[in-house]
């Protein structure tokens, strides 16, 4: 695949954020054929149909997240792997029911045909894009997750670089010429106390590959207002404004301790093979 490539995760039905990201891609001269979504196109936010339609029209390569898998299989829960009885688990019952009641059948059929992963090669390096991990769609992998766990999944994918989603936090972890990256979520802030959302850019210059996470500013007030108007959980509508998640049960201690601390972009370079 030619570079640069734009990768984003978790649109979550946030049409305003996806629209802004497309404007960013257009400004960078990146066509839809060089954009990749790590799944969960719909979830917390109020415009599932508009968001899916925009992503499909854009021509983005999309892999299935747990939400797409569950919707296509007509399951009653999101399959997010939240702790049973947690804040996020309880709230998911509300937003998942909302999505199921509104998402058009044509979009559900499209979700059922999505691949679980995507592989491409660029500048001699092998990339694999997954939702959670190659072996488990709804597995959470964070920056603090042990490298041995990441390395096993990188080897399983037969890749030099794995780009994941699901956890909602952008990061890049590189060791011994291998990389595990996460694009973060374009549809929900990164629990850092700002309303910014995140994506990842893969580019090449000067004989090196570069992976860089970057923040995206968008009209979060409109997105939040639409959630409130649709009767979706108030706590997530407030998250779009405050940048703070309503619950941190999925987070390891290291990530929990960073709650409310504004993130800086991550930036890693690799030699071209």
In a domain, 111, yes or no: yes
Flag whether 134 is in a domain: no
**Residue 84 lies inside a defined structural domain of this protein:** yes
pLDDT value of residue 205: 86
Instruction: Indicate whether 202 belongs to any domain.
Output: yes
Confidence of residue 240 (pLDDT cuts 50, 70, 90): very high
> Which band of pLDDT confidence, cut at 50, 70 and 90, is reported for residue 122?
very high
| Global confidence as pTM | 0.97
Domains held by the chain: number: 1
In a domain, 169, yes or no: no
Q: State the DSSP code for 59.
A: T
Residue 53 lies in a domain: yes
- Structural domain of 24: 5-117+183-271
% of the chain beyond a pLDDT of 90? 96
pLDDT for the residue 174: 97
3-state secondary structure of 150: helix
Tell me the C-alpha distance between 45 and 42, whole Å.
Answer: 7
Q: What is the CATH number of the domain that holds 47?
A: 3.60.21.10
Any domain includes 54 = yes
The overall average pLDDT reported for the chain is: 97
> Quick check: is 196 in a domain?
yes
Q: What is the pLDDT of residues 82-92, one digit of tens each?
A: 988 899 999 99
Handedness of CA 81, 84, 85, 91 (dihedral sign): positive
What is the rounded average pLDDT of the residues 209-217? 98
Distances (CA, A) of 234 to 78, 167, 172, 223: 19, 21, 31, 12
Residue 273 above 80 pLDDT? no
Residue 199 has pLDDT above 80, yes or no: yes
């Amino acid at each position: 695949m030619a570079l640069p490539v734009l990768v984003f995760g978790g649109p979550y039905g946030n049409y305003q954020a996806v629209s802004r990201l497309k404007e960013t891609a257009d400004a960078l001269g990146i066509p839809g054929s060089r954009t990749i979504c790590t799944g969960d196109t719909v979830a917390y936010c109020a415009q599932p149909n508009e968001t899916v339609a925009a992503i499909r029209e854009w021509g983005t390569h999309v892999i299935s997240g747990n939400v797409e898998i569950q919707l296509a299989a007509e399951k009653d829960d999101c399959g997010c792997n939240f702790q049973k009885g947690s804040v996020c688990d309880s709230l998911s019952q509300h937003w998942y029911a909302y999505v199921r009641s509104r998402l058009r059948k044509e979009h559900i059929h499209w979700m059922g045909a999505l691949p679980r992963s995507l592989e491409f090669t660029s500048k001699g390096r092998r990339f694999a894009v997954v939702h959670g991990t190659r072996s488990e769609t709804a597995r959470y992998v964070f920056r603090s997750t042990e490298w041995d766990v990441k390395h096993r999944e990188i080897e399983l994918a037969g890749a030099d670089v794995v780009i994941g989603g699901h956890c909602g936090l952008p990061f890049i972890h590189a060791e011994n010429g291998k990389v595990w990256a996460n694009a973060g979520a374009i549809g929900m802030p990164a629990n850092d106390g700002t309303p910014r959302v995140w994506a990842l850019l893969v580019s090449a210059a000067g004989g090196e590959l570069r992976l860089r996470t970057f923040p995206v500013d968008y009209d979060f007030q409109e997105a939040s207002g639409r959630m409130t108007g649709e009767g979706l959980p108030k706590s997530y509508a407030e998250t779009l404004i405050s940048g703070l998640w309503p619950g941190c049960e999925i987070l390891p201690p290291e990530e929990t301790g960073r709650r409310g601390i504004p993130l800086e972009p991550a930036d890693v370079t690799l030699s071209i093979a």
